[in-house]
Structure 1
Amino acid sequence: MSSTKFILGCFDDPDNMMHGIENLQKNSIPIYDVYTPMPIHGIEAKLGVKESRLGYAAFCFGCLGGSVIFSILYYTLVHDWPMNVGGKPHFAMPNFVPFTFEWTILFAAFGMVFTFYAATHLFPGRAPRVMDLRATDDRFVIAVDAKGNVPHDDITRLLQEAGAVEVKHNERKYVSYE
């Protein structure tokens, strides 16, 4: 058994890369991931990437933030230290709205950042790991898991037919910048 973990097809044109994805999918070869230096319209649908659930996390964190500040304001201004300001009632809802709104946005924003870092393992200070260093510069890379049942020569041939400039066999999972 070979030590190759990934077969990388490097393309210099996004249209050729999309054609390479189609070739691999026609032959039922699973694609591990695609790396591009810029966003490509429609690639998520072609690869079958599920829609992000960050919106649900934002909603939950926003509800948490709104509940926390509303509870703090209610306890502080109604129970702990009620003040009579201009004859208004202690529990005047319009006074609570700006603080509740701001804390809802604050909790949602920070919660989404932490959730994104946790989901993608992109914590600050962590060394970036990429398949090919040129994928962030000028190349479009299709990574195919080489542990499948398809012979490596067939995958290489399909990538070259699609217009791959270079086809590499990676033995390590990632290339580090260090």
Structure 2
Amino acid sequence: MSAQFNAPQPEAELRAMTEMDLHAVMSIERRAYEFPWSRGNFADSLNPRYVVQVLARPDGVVLGYFVAMPGVEEMHLLNLTVDPALHGLGLGRHLLDAVLVAAAMQGALLLWLEVRPSNHRAIRLYERYGFHAVAKRRNYYPALDVYGQPCKEDALVMSAQVDVLRRRRDLA
């Protein structure tokens, strides 16, 4: 699946992530998160069981990416990240639209995700899309307490019906 996208940035294209993208993806991941995924996590997702795409400019510069795992009538969004230097330009919405299209193509009825309660930007995006909090996973994410000591942060589990989201986004 490849789609064109016009934004304040130069034209960009969604395409399948390849091993050649891992260096750029890891650079974004490390800048975006205190506890980033490992290169191995991304390399493992480069197989047909996952839907893994990057949003890249024609010159190859990666602007963002997502990793999703299809299941029986559902899709689990595992990672959706935009280069922190490009926040606020609508790239996250574009990537989430691509997840919705991929979910529909896979026959998913539900889309699931986990998000840190401290990730207010992501929660606002998901709520605007129509996701609802459905559960909490206790001690899900690695974190640091106020003293810099390792601890765990809960995850907010959110879900939405794919067809409802696609209609809301006029992607039906």
Pick 1 or 2: higher relative contact order, CA cutoff 8 A, min separation 6: 1
- When you count strand as a share of all residues, which structure comes out higher? 2
Normalising by the smaller structure, the TM-score range is under 0.3
- When you count helix as a share of all residues, which structure comes out higher? 1
TM-score by length of 1: 0.23
The higher radius of gyration belongs to: 1
